[in-house]
Structure 1
Amino acid sequence: METITHRTVEVNGIKMHVAEKGEGPVVLLLHGFPELWYTWRHQILSLAGRGFRAVAPDLRGYGDSDAPPCPSSYSVLHVIGDLVALIQSLGQQQVFVVGHDWGAVVAWSLCLLRPDLVKALVNLSVVFNARHPSRRPVDSIRAIFGEDHYICRFQEPGVAEAEFARIDTALLIKKFLTYRKPSALVVSKEKGFGGSFDTVINLPSWLSEEDINYFASKFKQSGFTGGLNYYRCMNLNWELLAPWTGEPIKVPVKFIVGDLDLTYHTPGVQAYIHEGGFRKDVPFLQDVVVMEGVGHFINQEKPNEISDHIYEFIRKF
């Protein structure tokens, strides 16, 4: 990883940390929660070795990027504004985009609002969630799963942060990156986030103590509030995106998900992917890959396969 370079870029009123390597067409890699640029460490090296310039920012609120204090400063317009400014700072008219988890949500939004900036998109784990004209997303989650769903529990500022503060950060990161059971999504107020975790974790082969320590060191420094504020803007984003209701994604897309990913087993998602709804909302969807035996953190769990999938798709453009 010592060959990956790091710098700070002034974008949209904040300082954004960027990790990058390579020369050639730019591939913008967008991480999720609770992650950092580091989640793309394998893809950065692979893409750089294949003639691309891989650029992986810490999104606002994460790692070494600035973290504005107001929750509403994490709206879709703020975050996409950051990326537009970043793309411009790179001297690019268009870039390839790859997203995972919240980074996938951000990538869908970038393609929705500024499709002119995106040559093609590879998104992992999270499907496009077209705006429902009469249903706020957090309200929908609450209606389906109840108040104890983790997204509902994340809504009140300070609550999750206080519970996370009582848990060793490295242990917390281990739990987040290795969860596979649906029970991890339900967090009662009585047990709290700490009560929902086991005490012994055996790391999988794709995740090392060094990896955990890197993530933990950055979250100890920045805290989790920045990342949690993305969840706290979900209903606000629904309001802000009203003018784009019914607008499809108008860029070429490849979508990849693991068959053990809990997002793949969210009610309605498989039907949406395989029965036509996805292709209606994403008319230039060119490929859907369901990887067997793979969980949510797919780009870390299967780094070589994901790097190959990205390369084989974007090399066509």
Structure 2
Amino acid sequence: MTQMDQIKHNFIHVNGLKLHVAEIGTGPKVVLFLHGFPEIWYSWRYQMIAVAKSGFRAIAPDYRGYGLSDQPPESEKACHADIVSDLIGILDHLEIKKVFTVGKDFGARPAYLLPLLHPERISGVITLGVPYVPMGPSNFKQHLPEGFYVSRWEVSRLSFISQKPGRAEADFGRFDIKTVVKNVYILFSKSDVPIAAENQEIMDLVQPSTLLPPWFTEEDLDSYAKLYENSGFQTPLQMPYRVKNEEFGIKDPVVKVPCLFIMGMQDYVLKFPGLEAYIRSGTLNQLVPDLDTIEIPEGGHFVQEQFPDQVNQLLLTFLNKHIQL
């Protein structure tokens, strides 16, 4: 049996949906892994195995509408509040009282919402690539051109009645799902922000002959593609790209648990206008007083898959330092 074979797969009924949860390890020390896009539970495979070997229980769900989890009703769409509610529902079902959260990409938002909304359930927070940003309008996407990938993907379908595809759906729809996942992985692995020309589509930024990054295998791509073949991209485009400003009634935006921020210095996200200044100016540390920031010089957007051993060691050092039973 391989280490991957030791990861168990369960389905938990939460909020009227059947959600897929990958799990490995046992005991009261629990780590909840939260994926981004185009990722899935599988993106945490190296970290789950590593923390389980060190005595932790690792849990990695597919969000609603992602991978093997049920699609939400189209009338409900999906938002961060849903994700937080689903995660609390999963923990309640599994009778887990307290966890560390590890969030990557947009998974950083629910990773930080949990200690703000449910502080009694969270021991600490680790995020990769995306720092804590308080709820509300983000300034970090401003001053980017129309061809910025987020701007293209956040345009929703024209109407539920006509069912006409939005620009992203039409762009993605020209290719099979495996090619879409491959192209996004290639694009997001670069250090430049993906920006298309006015009359160019995001998928066309990748030449068909472009190879996958050396740390991402064809087997990995197949695993991702099978999961997205099940879910499609309807919900992943909605959540996170089309979620507008949500109100949570958070009066105090300061995060009061120990936190770790791992930043790949070749991650294109670092080039969002004002983001690096926000991280380095001290503003971030005012909002997250107990924060350690660690840079990985050659790390890109998928740093946990690119440099798994290094990331695993950083996670375990933080977890063992702050675990309280």
Structure 1 residue 177 corresponds to structure 2 residue 209: no
User: In structure 2, which of residues 264, 269, 273 is the aligned counterpart of residue 267 of structure 1?
Assistant: 273
Aligned to 2:161: none
Output one character per residue of 1:37-77: Cα deviation in whole Å (capped at 9) or x when no partner: 00011111111111011001111110000111437531221
Letter in 2 for 1:263: V
Q: CA deviation at 1:304?
A: 1.1
Question: Which structure shows the higher helix fraction?
Answer: 1
Q: CA deviation at 1:182?
A: 6.1
State the percentage of identical aligned residues: 34
Output one character per residue of 1:244-282: Cα deviation in whole Å (capped at 9) or x when no partner: 265111211011010000112222222222221110111
Aligned to 1:3: 6
Matches within 5 A, 1:1-317: 1-24=4-27, 25-70=29-74, 72-132=76-136, 136-137=137-138, 140=139, 143-155=142-154, 156-157=156-157, 158-159=165-166, 160-179=168-187, 180-181=189-190, 185-188=194-197, 190-237=199-246, 240-241=247-248, 243-244=249-250, 247-285=253-291, 287-316=292-321, 317=323
Give TM-score scaled by structure 1 length: 0.91
Output one character per residue of 1:209-237: Cα deviation in whole Å (capped at 9) or x when no partner: 00001111221221111111113443242
- Superposed CA RMSD in Å reads 1.9
**Partners in 1 of 2:76 and 2:284 — Cα distance?**
29
Q: CA deviation at 1:141?
A: 6.2
Q: CA deviation at 1:146?
A: 3.3
- Whether the aligned pair in 2 keeps the contact of 1:40 and 1:56 (CA below 8 Å) is yes
**Partners in 1 of 2:289 and 2:143 — Cα distance?**
28
Q: CA deviation at 1:174?
A: 2.0
**Partners in 2 of 1:194 and 1:174 — Cα distance?**
10
Change (3 A) 1:188 1:74: farther
- Whether the aligned pair in 2 keeps the contact of 1:8 and 1:17 (CA below 8 Å) is yes
- Whether the aligned pair in 1 keeps the contact of 2:141 and 2:272 (CA below 8 Å) is no
- Whether the aligned pair in 2 keeps the contact of 1:71 and 1:232 (CA below 8 Å) is no
Change (3 A) 1:245 1:199: farther
Output one character per residue of 1:179-232: Cα deviation in whole Å (capped at 9) or x when no partner: 344665223452112322212122233111000011112212211111111134
